[in-house]
Amino acid sequence: MAAPRDHPGALEKQGREGRRGGSGVEVVFPPDPAAPAPLCPHGPTLLFVKVIQGKEETRRFYACSACRDRKDCNFFQWEDEKLSPARLAAREAHHRRFLPPLSRTQCVDRYLKFIALPLTERKFCQSCQQLLLLEEWDKHREHQVLGDISVSQLRRPSRLLYPLENKKTNAQYLFAERSCQFLVDLLSALGFQRVLCVGTPRLHELIRLTASGDNKSNMKSLLLDIDFRYSQFYMEDSFCHYNMFNHHFFDGKAALDVCRAFLQDGNGEGVIMVTDPPFGGLVEPLAVTFKKLIAMWKEGQSQDDGYKELPIFWIFPYFFESRICQFFPSFSMLDYQVDYDNHALYKHGKTGRKQSPVRIFTNIPPSKIILPTEEGYRFCPLCQRYVSVENQHCEHCNSCPSKDGRKWNHCFLCNKCVKPSWIHCSTCSHCAVPDHSCEGPKDGCFICGELDHKRSNCPNISASKRANKAVRKQKQRKSNKMKMETTKGQTMNHTSATRKKKRRERTHQYLCS
Ligand code: SAH
Ligand code: ZN
Ligand code: ZN
Ligand code: ZN
Ligand code: ZN
């Protein structure tokens, strides 16, 4: 059950190191432009390299950009591997089975037919997560079917569909009403007329609901998301099936043009991009994608606007701050805590004890962003920004230094403010949790280095296993072949037994490093 997003410790480490979980797998950028990446059903794959004890393994491999679980997409290819035409064809046939059953245009046709039905004939199959047309009722007779689907239900698909919580692909965590309303109000107060929603289906629908209400808002929204179920509820100009880890539009140029037109409308004035990617995803491919969207927006600018930036809200945990700012130096992190509906760990508890670690990163000056005082934020005149009430200004740091919403304490030896639970350790010569091991992570988890669990309970174990299994499988295939060629008919000799043992040891070493 435990997975990176559920385990702030492991994610925090990933945030610091820029790796995929504890698996020690890193993405390689920029891939050689002369060698285009092979395609999986989710568009161009990414090139990865395994890193063992700080050293890169020489053999790199391509894997799916979107799915961190082999169950969702098992694409694997060594960088230097040549596939026979027969294997390529087989692979393509295999991929086709992953494609959505309907084209985007077919979805829109269905939607139009559906809304023309009288209320009593509008049904939604919960088992198949699909709106049903009359002629389909029969097929779904045995399923969980919801009747009388109202217009207001159709306008809130994120409530009709169940969230896809599979941590390693969709990691769909929906904004709590309070946070979602805060975002819509903020976007409107900042004067935006168009919002490019990248992986924010609930925000998208609330913007549209607000605009269709009788108030003055006429904000438009375009949703880009990999969750194809949403395509049932929107016309072509408000949803594109999209992969944000490789900037892939599943419906090709037509969809790309929709996105471009949306960004470039009115010379690109009044548009903002808001994104809330899966937290287990790597920052670098996301940054590369967002830069492509920025470039697309820029193409529509006149020359003298060259210095302008596309306004962005990137919603992500606070411990990714340095990673995000590395790619976007103009971004700052707001103190606002983003809350979720279906996430037990990342939502404000009633007691206020559970704090969400999720923040907004933005290139809009923080002084322009008013955080609600009734939710415990205040304006710091020295920092010229809104902060958590507990985040007290430190005269030595000359800032409100807290990242997690609690009051931090200044350490004069470290010369900075630190978490309240930390103490200064003279052995390590910096502040740390009181029960840390000064010699590093050896008392904690071998995989991720966290101190609160052992390897067997590590939330990252599946990620490491996946990387290992993929590599092992290839090695196995090779060694099987070798065995067939060399030890045909013999029982396993001593050397191959040693080799096998060595391999086991290496794997163990890898898992435990
Ligand atoms: N808080 C947001 C939802 C964020 S959850 C809201 O309430 O609106 C992450 C979202 O990103 C999900 O909608 C998920 O379907 C989408 N997503 C996950 N992987 C993606 C990918 N590779 N490309 C595009 N969207 C993706
Ligand atoms: Zn894939
Ligand atoms: Zn300080
Ligand atoms: Zn120490
Ligand atoms: Zn661990």
Query: How confident is the model at residue 485, as a pLDDT?
Result: 35
pLDDT band at 464 (very low <50, low <70, confident <90, very high): very low
Handedness of CA 11, 16, 22, 27 (dihedral sign): positive
Measured in whole angstroms, how far is the alpha carbon of residue 433 from the centre of its chain? 29
Among 75, 244, 288, 290, the mutation site with the greatest number of ligand 1 atoms within 8 A of its Cβ is 244
Q: 61 pairs with which residues across the strands?
A: 48, 78
Query: What's the CA dihedral at 472, 476, 482, 484 to 10 degrees?
Result: 170
User: Tens of pLDDT along 477-513?
Assistant: 444 443 333 333 333 344 444 444 444 443 333 332 2
pLDDT bin (cut points 50, 70, 90) of residue 16 is low
What is the identity of the amino acid at 164? L
- How does the average pLDDT of the chain come out, rounded? 83
Q: How far apart are CA 62 and CA 42, in angstroms?
A: 13
Q: What is the pLDDT of residue 470?
A: 44
Residue of 166, 225, 243 with the most ligand 1 atoms within 8 Å of its CB, for mutation:
225
Q: How many separate helices (H) and strands (E) can be counted in the chain?
A: 12, 24
C-alpha distance from residue 379 to each of 15, 366, 399 (Å): 28, 11, 12
Which residues surround the ion ligand 4 when the cut-off is CB under 5 Å?
A: 425, 427-428, 432, 438
Ligand nearest to the CA of 68: 2
* pTM, 2 dp: 0.82
Q: Is residue 424 over pLDDT 50?
A: yes
Kindly state the percentage of the chain with pLDDT values over 70: 77
Bond into 30 cis (ω within 30): yes
Condensed to tens digits (0 to 9), the pLDDT of residues 218-272 reads 899 999 999 999 999 999 999 999 999 999 999 999 999 999 999 999 999 999 9
In the prediction, which pLDDT does 445 show? 54
Are the C-beta atoms of 247 and 253 separated by less than 8 Å? no
Which of ligand 1's atoms lies nearest the C-alpha of 180?
Answer: 7
Residues at CB less than 6 angstroms from ligand 1: 66, 170-175, 199-203, 225-227, 242-245, 276, 278
What is the pLDDT confidence band of residue 99, given thresholds at 50, 70 and 90? confident
**pLDDT per residue over 36-82, tens digit each?**
899 999 999 999 998 877 677 778 999 999 998 888 898 999 999 98
* Interacting residues of 12 by C-beta distance below 8 A, sequence separation 6+: 317, 319
Give every CB contact of residue 509 below 8 A, 6+ residues apart in sequence: none
Name the residue at shortest CA distance from atom 5 of ligand 1. Answer: 172
Structural contact between residues 169 and 195, judged by C-beta atoms closer than 8 angstroms: no
Name the one residue in this structure whose structure tokens are 């005149």.
381
